[in-house]
Amino acid sequence: MTVRMGASGLPILAADDPKKPYGDVAYADPGYQEDGVSRYPIDTEEHCRAAWSYINQEDNAARYTPDQLAKIKATIRAALKKYGVEIAEDSIDPKTLRMSRPVAQLKQGRTDWYRISNKTGLAPEVYIYDEIGYWGVTASDFGRDLQALDADALTIHINSPGGEVYDGLAIYQSIRSHRASVTVIVDGLAASAASFIAMAADKLVMAPKSSMMIHDGFTMAVGNAADLRKTAELLDKASQNIASIYADRSGLPTEFWRERMLEETWYSAQEAVDAGLADEVEGQAKSIDNSFDLSVFAHAGRDRAPAPVIKAAPVKAKEEPVIVPAVESKVEPEFTWDFAAFKSSLKEGLTHG
């Protein structure tokens, strides 16, 4: 998840020309593949970084001839250089790419990162199936569409590598404030900002083979020492706030979750339940597209990450009734004068005397 410092700089996608899904901008691939579609827009720094990450994936590179691939990479590197970013010809170093926010796969023709199914007679279903905020649709759009759903129950499906942290927090709040009973199902991946969005659920279900990842926020900043200190303080506050969301759901301390975030922790479906982040694992595995580029993270998926630290949620001890021991009364009995007995004793004494 990243903290956006100002405008995102991402254009709203234009669909006027199907051969140019991002509109009339520069592309690293001007249409080399058979369909003639231009790919890998390089009109912004974020698009350039996404393009570089994506073209370095083996299956994507295999779609081009060596000459075409060399031209695409040279074009992306030249575009990045205009933004002051130098990348070696064959570099796919995750530390270099971590300067960028997490990138979703560049699906041509996509104009959104969520969709809502609201069919008559059925409970509404919301699908968050890409990088949050990446396609020019903001959290305010999502919140407005969500609040328009007049339903007592709704289901939110998540398969996302994360996105803008403040968009994520706004989405979390919009889900929490909806009057419906909300079930969140993690169909594939709930990483970064998508993981704390999932925490808004009244019931959180992990699909078999799904995973969840939590980590500290990261960003880019330019300025003097004072500017950078302010940015670091802002980042710490945002991450601490997110840690408190995990704490609220699990019952474990905020500090425990902040430590897990700093380590970048990945959870399998059952591990998420064991950690108190999810309620149950769903019975049936799902077949979904989960080809996200995870190279910006320290570990590219649960199978490449160390086992998480699982700490049992605190259980309140049963309060035993307090038994107050009886205290013997030390009050002397009230004295009663028995005149008849006194008179008799007196006579008996005189007789024996």
Kindly state the helix (H) or strand (E) to which residue 212 belongs, with its residue range. strand 211-214
Q: Do the beta carbons of residue 132 and residue 103 sit within 8 Å?
A: no
- The residue annotated as part of the active site, out of 47, 100, 211, 215, is 215
Beta strands in 17-86 (DSSP E): 27-29, 39-41
Q: Do the beta carbons of residue 217 and residue 238 sit within 8 Å?
A: yes
Sequence-ordered list of residues with C-beta below 8 angstroms from that of 301, at least 6 positions apart, any chain: 211, 266, 294
Sequence-ordered list of residues with C-beta below 8 angstroms from that of 15, at least 6 positions apart, any chain: 21, 109, 111
- Residue 157 is a catalytic residue: no
- Residue 192 is a catalytic residue: yes
- The residue annotated as part of the active site, out of 100, 192, 210, 268, is 192
Distances, alpha carbon 251 to alpha carbons 136, 254, 316, in Å: 36, 9, 11
| The two three-digit tokens of residue 256, written as one number | 């425990």
Report the C-alpha gap between 161 and 130 in whole angstroms: 7
Catalogue the active-site residues.
Answer: 192, 215
